[in-house]
Structure 1
């Protein structure tokens, strides 16, 4: 019997893959109530109903020999495959025998291939999606496809014999991965995030570095300089590039820095993508990188009917991301929408960075009062709006009072949504939050 823990974006395609092999599974999720079946013969169960007591001990012992895991032998195994979103303190994670993450599951199947695909894992606190998309664009001619947190599900990469996997890899996935390894591991800067899930910043950093001890001497890693002395990073056996900033990494990799036209905070993403391509295939296609278009909801600029600049940075879900967004516009008056589910994060570094700048804050979400309490401590004006629609309306009134629009785009001020918090307290996703922000901003 195969158990699936959590029924979300990554595990739904996995269930479909197993069903295509004639394997019905038990799916446990907090959102299910009781027990019911679906049209494919799977059981959908409340998480509280999971128990190891029904497992045949002989099957459980045999399934520990995961090196023998093949597509053909799956029907004989007792495994629990966990969604990366489930924290390690959840009863499903603490009770299950033979717990395995999705990366380990597919990479163990791949080990039996005559020519396994090459793979790149890209992680870090901010910039993973952009770097993954850039790398995939640069290596498209080599058969690269994006996967992991974005793009093509691992099950589809596996069944379509994709020759190069470019995986946006979260700290959650890394936590549940103990076997799989990439050919190149690229780590963007690591800042405080997901502390409640990992338990501490130290544990978060350790999970981000956890793949390094398993990687062989013929692999490569691109890592932040400040982690060079970390015990895990210091023991890496492959070729490591420890970077201080974009220019430093470009110099180490022999990339013509001046020819790259992308601006920060995306410049480092681009240099890392070029570095990955150079490490794997010795190529450096700066022209393709310069033509790359940044995706939606990450410092996405647009103007309203009055030629006023608005910026959708709904993907700015932590302090470091918002600092980078503010840094980009710090010479202007900024009307900043902050707030949401910050998961207990320390917001003081953000306020320290904003102190002394021309910034007015419009607080929304579950931590709005926390933001309002911090603002006067740093000499910042704050209006508690609660809801996004109210914040956008308040910004429009403030901008009208600030000055008349210019004949061309008004560069004196900018309205910026960069919440430094997750969206799920009020929205279904950061995408919904960003889409609504644009909708409200463009209403006359």
Structure 2
């Protein structure tokens, strides 16, 4: 079978390896090749600006997640690594989606199930590429799959357990509008059966809109209805059964308690071991760049929340430190978001804004119109961190929670976060001079 791997990065590399080892006639088709992902020795390849004009004669085009399906013109079948995995996976899949919190919730689920003695494969953006583990799966395994809208766009089989976290406008630089974004996210339930389960956020209309499309059993998290997982008096409950204290969660922010509720609800579909749930929550101490404490310098605590690429996630970060003297670093590349809500929240909690990156100018003007103290800093992270250090108050916090993507100045949100951490370490060692 003639197969094209459309776009070559981490996912394309995994797809090439999988189909090549299966014995297919595989060609890599990509606009460019990066030094991080060089072409395999001897691989067939079509490389160049117009590479995707040459897809028509392949039997199957395997698109990488970031490539819109409607950009592919072919007489063959349009497919993806995610579709291939779902079609051939012989064990239950717990799928997790949402605008933010996917990685944390997926990690909570994996940690809990492992503490209960289950063999778990964590795949997706935070785990390994799914096709890398397909041949390794054993009959008693459980797969936890973090799923973005790009992976769900054309999914043809839905997970047995679908978790739909809070949804807010995002990726509107790729999706045409919010309706298309929600339609893509809906792939997580669209092909469920009556035997499957969807767990949704009861107070988020988009999460509920997606959940209503499932023919399976519907549950809520962070809600006190029958068979639901919720928080009461500093503890997690299912119905009237106390599971464990919320202090088992080692992460900052009330939103992480909601993520834990969702993870507990999903885990209880497969285990009934409250002690394992508590151990699993305690064992997971967080992913990089997700409201992680970098260090304290001169009485100021610095937090890396570079993953916060939407206003809603930055608002959640601000709310986690209400009552503190807050400096928040906002701005980056534009994804079509409205920054008014985050500026209004900064005004409410009395935060000072350091406006950075391409969207910094827009954010600075909004701050001025809302009477929020703002400093515009167009430099790279060392300059940004020095500017923040000069205005931060003892016993206060500085948060990198940009509400924007990173591609204006950095390779990725993780690169932005790494440079922030390095700059904070720099002022801890050498001061701000």
Deviation at 1:291, TM superposition (A): 3.4
For 1:96 and 1:394, locate their aligned partners in 2 and report how far apart those are by CA, in whole Å: 55
1:129 is matched with 103
Question: What whole-Å deviation, never above 9, does each CA across 1:408-440 have from its counterpart, x for those lacking one?
Answer: xx43x1111100011111111111111111111
Aligned-CA RMSD value: 2.4
Q: Is the 8 A contact 2:354 2:377 kept in 1?
A: yes
2:129 is matched with 153
Question: What whole-Å deviation, never above 9, does each CA across 1:98-131 have from its counterpart, x for those lacking one?
Answer: 1112221223234xxxxx1111100001100011
Q: For structure 1, which segment, 128-137 or 341-350, has the greater mean C-alpha deviation from structure 2 after superposition? A: 341-350
Find the partner of 1:271 among 261, 267, 276.
261
Within the alignment, does 1:101 sit opposite 2:80 as a pair?
yes
For 1:428 and 1:229, locate their aligned partners in 2 and report how far apart those are by CA, in whole Å: 30
2:194 is matched with 217
Change (3 A) 1:28 1:301: same
Within the alignment, does 1:171 sit opposite 2:149 as a pair?
yes
Q: For structure 1, which segment, 37-46 or 295-304, has the greater mean C-alpha deviation from structure 2 after superposition? A: 37-46
For 1:37 and 1:290, locate their aligned partners in 2 and report how far apart those are by CA, in whole Å: 41
Question: What whole-Å deviation, never above 9, does each CA across 1:167-226 have from its counterpart, x for those lacking one?
Answer: 00001111021x222110001010111122221112212221233231111111101224
Gaps of 5+ in 1: 61-77, 111-115, 403-409
Deviation at 1:246, TM superposition (A): 6.0
Kindly report which structure 2 residues correspond to 1:318-329, keeping only aligned pairs within 5 A, or say none: 318-329=310-321
TM-score (norm 1): 0.84
- Secondary structure at the aligned position of 1:193 is classed as coil
Within the alignment, does 1:239 sit opposite 2:217 as a pair?
yes
- Secondary structure at the aligned position of 2:41 is classed as coil
Q: For structure 1, which segment, 97-106 or 132-141, has the greater mean C-alpha deviation from structure 2 after superposition? A: 97-106
For 1:28 and 1:53, locate their aligned partners in 2 and report how far apart those are by CA, in whole Å: 8
Q: For structure 1, which segment, 37-46 or 200-209, has the greater mean C-alpha deviation from structure 2 after superposition? A: 37-46
- Secondary structure at the aligned position of 1:270 is classed as helix
For 2:75 and 2:63, locate their aligned partners in 1 and report how far apart those are by CA, in whole Å: 10
Gaps of 5+ in 2: 231-236
Question: What whole-Å deviation, never above 9, does each CA across 1:283-336 have from its counterpart, x for those lacking one?
Answer: 332232133211221111133442421111111111111000000112111111
Q: Is the 8 A contact 2:293 2:304 kept in 1?
A: yes
Kindly report which structure 2 residues correspond to 1:433-444, keeping only aligned pairs within 5 A, or say none: 433-443=416-426, 444=430
2:29 is matched with 28
1:357 is matched with 349
Within the alignment, does 1:45 sit opposite 2:26 as a pair?
no
Question: What whole-Å deviation, never above 9, does each CA across 1:246-281 have from its counterpart, x for those lacking one?
Answer: 666424843636622225121111111111111123
2:397 is matched with 414
1:64 is matched with none
Between the two proteins, the alignment pairs up a number of residues equal to: 402
Q: For structure 1, which segment, 247-256 or 272-281, has the greater mean C-alpha deviation from structure 2 after superposition? A: 247-256
Find the partner of 1:84 among 46, 49, 65.
65
Greater C-alpha Rg = 1
TM-score (norm 2): 0.86
Q: Is the 8 A contact 2:201 2:220 kept in 1?
A: yes
Deviation at 1:385, TM superposition (A): 0.6
For 1:129 and 1:229, locate their aligned partners in 2 and report how far apart those are by CA, in whole Å: 17
For 1:392 and 1:382, locate their aligned partners in 2 and report how far apart those are by CA, in whole Å: 14
For 2:75 and 2:33, locate their aligned partners in 1 and report how far apart those are by CA, in whole Å: 18
